Amino acid sequence: MTDKLKFAFYWGASCGGCDVAVLDINEKILDVAAIADIVLWPVAADGKYKDIEAMADRNIDVCFFNGGIRNSEAEHIARLLRKKSKVMVSFGACACMGGVPSLANQFSRGEIFTRAYITSQSTVNPERRLPQQKSYVPEGELEIPQFFDRVSPLDEVVPVDYYLPGCPPTPEWVLAAVQAIAKGELPPPGSVIGSEKTLCDECPRERKNERSIRKFYRPHEIIADPKQCLLEQGIICSGPATRAGCRARCIEVNMPCRGCYGPPPGVVDQGAKMLGAVASLVAANDEDEVARIIDGIKDPLGIFYQFGLAKSLLKGNIKQGG
């Protein structure tokens, strides 16, 4: 018999970076191994779904689920792990908000398949074959998971106890979560495990707090002053609409924040908050001039909702099926 905790790690629609983030805690992984057995971690070990199905309900102490819900397999396993776990942690930007994969929610399923399997520059598919949920081969019927119309955050499919945002979550916060679990000192259910401030609060750059933007630039179009606020230099930086906690790691290398830690407390829609912040810094009074400057923002949906379209008020659920 063991009195160790049981952890499960699982991935839905994600890139695998969240799984690597667990290893980023370096030698502290030994502390995790000292307090917990990992009963499922598909990216690292060959676990079987049937073993999870055979477990008693609530047998797993904590499930760390990264990635959004894009297909029927992810939905099925999310429901299964919810049933088998005492605590469900939405781990990383994609599980919390849909993440980058949910930018595809602005397109129909048909458009996504056409782009991915027919028109993309790296594809050779003269017969224009698309994946079919069921196909028949001499050996029998093959079935792949159903591809849903949109990516959903985890909490649209199952109840979530805690949110650990970030793309990926930083080792400090992963460790903070594990230590809180080990000590039984978790915050109230529904909490975000992270800072209560905005990224601008922890950013070391100087701000003038005045309307200074006459033109917007993409990061490669300008050599940014490394001491001054990027947003005030006309580079879209999502700091005002993003939860602190990463120690401004993108800003440190002179790159703007893209908002992977999600909205800070009290902000419902990260993109709308950013639009307000940007508008307040445009240095023009004339309506046409304001419109001309704002028009200079390339791909506003992709920038303001890079990590959170599925969780936004827009949801990006523009087209169905196809």
In the complex, which residues of this chain contact ligand SF4 (CB under 6 A)?
Answer: 167, 199-200, 203, 205, 207, 229-231, 237, 239-240, 242, 246, 248-251, 257-261
H or E element in which residue 65 lies: strand 60-66
Question: How distant is the alpha carbon of residue 301 from its chain centre?
Answer: 16
Sheet strands side by side (includes 85-91) = 36-40, 5-11, 60-66, 85-91, 162-164
Give least dist CB 164 to ligand SF4, A: 13
Give residue 288's identity as a one-letter amino acid code.
D
Nearer to ligand SF4 among residue 159 and residue 226 (C-beta):
226
Give least dist CB 26 to ligand SF4, A: 19
Q: Is the peptide bond before 165 cis (omega within 30 degrees of 0)?
A: no
Give least dist CB 50 to ligand SF4, A: 37
In contact, 253 and 224? CB cutoff 8 Å: no
By CB neighbour count within 10 A (0-12 exposed, 13-18 middle, 19+ buried), where does 182 fall?
middle
Nearer to ligand SF4 among residue 32 and residue 251 (C-beta):
251
Nearer to ligand SF4 among residue 134 and residue 227 (C-beta):
227
Q: How many CA atoms lie within 13 A of 64 on its CB side?
A: 29
**Which single residue brings its beta carbon nearest to ligand SF4?**
239
Nearer to ligand SF4 among residue 78 and residue 274 (C-beta):
274
Give least dist CB 251 to ligand SF4, A: 5
Give least dist CB 308 to ligand SF4, A: 11
Nearer to ligand SF4 among residue 150 and residue 205 (C-beta):
205
Give least dist CB 100 to ligand SF4, A: 11
Alpha helical stretches, state H, the chain: 17-23, 29-35, 49-54, 72-84, 93-97, 109-114, 171-183, 199-202, 249-252, 270-279, 287-295, 300-304
Nearer to ligand SF4 among residue 48 and residue 249 (C-beta):
249
CA pseudo-torsion sign 192, 182, 178, 247: positive
Phi then psi for residue 60, to 5 deg, are: -85, 135
